[in-house]
């Protein structure tokens, strides 16, 4: 029904490791254009939106106009954790199962069941964005790990040339000052110096996905959902939307 081969299995390992923390299960859609996944978490606070174009794969085959397959992300991620450095990833979708093959030092084959789920076509969120910041995956991970030591919430605030990332615990406070001048940001565009607050747990759940990302883009405005884009080579994107936190 469908089959694709990707050059670096660890990218999918890290992406799905983060998706697993937010979604229990979901439906992938395969078309001639590429692979996509868009789903809300059970609390409807966060959304995951993944897309990889057909051109990003070493091999890509889809029978008919589209193929859908549902997975338990706990099971899917458990298998993908077996990916090693320099492994290629091959996934074949059958009528009732998914075959996952790692090709590297030898060949390892796993088979997991499909989950019977109804595909829900969710629209892409249209959210206002007044602050756009771009950084490496490494900077994103270091920033969140610094804040999560003490805080349950993360505050983003921008000035003309600086992004302030803050966290506050019962008695502790932390603030990171990110800017292009300091080398911690790749780009910063500020239409309005807005401030917004989010639950830090969702950002912590993104950390493994950021491990394989070349670039992480953050877009937000005051009291609106934040959009966090993980960009991968070649041309892959995993986006997280998180609703603002109200105190």
pLDDT for res 48: 98
Gap between the Cα atoms of 42 and 24, Å rounded: 9
Q: What is the pLDDT of residues 207-216, one digit of tens each?
A: 999 999 999 9
Instruction: Tally the residues of the chain.
Output: 247
Q: What is the pLDDT of residues 156-208, one digit of tens each?
A: 999 999 999 999 887 889 999 999 999 999 999 999 999 999 999 999 999 99
Q: Tell me the CATH number for domain 2-113.
A: 3.70.10.10
Q: What is the per-residue DSSP string for 76-110?
A: HHHHHTT--TT-EEEEEE-SSEEEEEEEESEEEEE
Cβ contacts of 43 within 8 Å, gap of 6 or more: none
Predicted TM-score (pTM) of this structure: 0.95
pLDDT for res 247: 65
Is 3.70.10.10 the CATH classification of the domain at 131-242?
yes
Q: What is the per-residue DSSP string for 172-202?
A: -EEEEEE-TTTTS-SEEEESS--EEEEEHHH
Give yes or no for a contact between 92 and 102, defined as CB atoms under 8 angstroms apart.
no
Hey, do 2-113 and 131-242 end up sharing a CATH topology, with the first three levels equal? Answer: yes
pLDDT for res 62: 96
The interaxial angle of helices 9-22 and 73-80, nearest 10 deg, is 150
Q: What is the pLDDT of residues 58-68, one digit of tens each?
A: 999 999 999 99
């Amino acid at each position: 029904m469908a089959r694709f081969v990707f050059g670096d299995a660890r990218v999918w390992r890290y992406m799905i490791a983060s998706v697993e923390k937010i979604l229990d299960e979901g439906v992938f859609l395969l078309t001639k254009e590429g692979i996509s996944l868009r789903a809300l978490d059970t609390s409807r606070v966060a959304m995951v939106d993944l897309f990889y174009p057909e051109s990003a794969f070493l091999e890509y085959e889809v029978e008919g106009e589209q193929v859908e397959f549902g997975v338990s992300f706990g099971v899917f991620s458990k298998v993908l954790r077996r990916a090693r450095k320099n492994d290629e990833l091959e996934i074949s979708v059958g009528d009732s199962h998914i075959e996952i093959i790692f090709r590297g030092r030898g060949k390892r084959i796993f088979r997991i069941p499909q989950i019977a789920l109804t595909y829900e076509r969710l629209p892409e969120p249209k959210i206002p964005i007044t602050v756009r910041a771009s950084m490496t995956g490494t900077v994103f991970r270091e920033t969140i790990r610094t804040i999560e030591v003490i805080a349950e919430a993360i505050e983003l605030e921008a000035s003309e040339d600086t992004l302030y990332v803050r966290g506050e615990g019962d008695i502790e406070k932390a603030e990171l000052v990110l800017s292009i001048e300091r080398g911690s940001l790749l780009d910063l565009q500020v239409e309005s110096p807005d401030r917004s607050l989010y639950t830090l747990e969702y950002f912590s759940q993104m950390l493994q996905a950021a491990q394989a990302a070349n670039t992480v883009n953050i877009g937000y405005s005051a009291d609106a959902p934040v959009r966090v884009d993980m960009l991968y080579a070649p041309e892959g994107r995993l986006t997280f939307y998180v609703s603002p936190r109200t105190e």
